[in-house]
């Protein structure tokens, strides 16, 4: 699995019938800069950070015989890990009243 940024749409005038409704998006992996085409059923938009599953994990999402899709957007990232600490939060939890 990898985190990536949606950088573009992939347009196609024809499509295999076994591929369900969704869009093909070009994404760029964070850290490596690798670009790939991922299938999206969430409605992700340009500039959005997403979580991408690849290979058998992506194929297993589809019921029955999987279509020829090897990268699947499975989530939208709202806040990266550690963002609260970077923003100045101490990361300490407040004690419960009466504890």
The structural domains of the chain, with segments of one domain joined by +, span: 2-76
Predicted pLDDT at 82: 67
Predicted pLDDT at 79: 75
Predicted pLDDT at 95: 46
Report the CATH fold assignment for 2-76.
Answer: OB fold (Dihydrolipoamide Acetyltransferase, E2P) (2.40.50)
Q: Are 38 and 28 in contact (CB under 8 A)?
A: no
pTM of the model: 0.75
Q: Which of 70, 6, 80 is CA-nearest to residue 42?
A: 6
Residues 6+ apart with CB under 8 A from 39: 19, 22, 23, 24, 25, 58, 69, 71, 72, 73
Count CB atoms within 10 A of the CB of residue 71: 21
Predicted pLDDT at 62: 85
Rounded CA-CA distance 25/10 in Å is: 5
- Each of the 99 residues of the chain gets a pLDDT tens digit; together they read 999 999 999 998 888 888 888 999 999 999 999 999 999 999 999 999 999 999 988 888 888 888 888 999 999 999 766 665 555 444 444 444 554
């Amino acid at each position: 699995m990898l985190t990536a940024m949606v950088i573009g749409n992939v347009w196609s005038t024809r499509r295999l019938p076994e591929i369900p409704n969704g869009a093909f998006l070009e994404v760029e992996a964070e850290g490596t800069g690798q670009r790939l085409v991922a299938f999206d059923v969430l409605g992700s938009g340009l500039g959005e950070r997403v979580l991408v599953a690849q290979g058998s994990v992506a194929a297993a999402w589809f019921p029955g015989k999987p279509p020829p899709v090897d990268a699947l957007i499975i989530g939208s990232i709202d806040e990266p890990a550690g963002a609260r600490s970077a923003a100045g939060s101490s990361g300490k939890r407040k004690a419960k009243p009466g504890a």
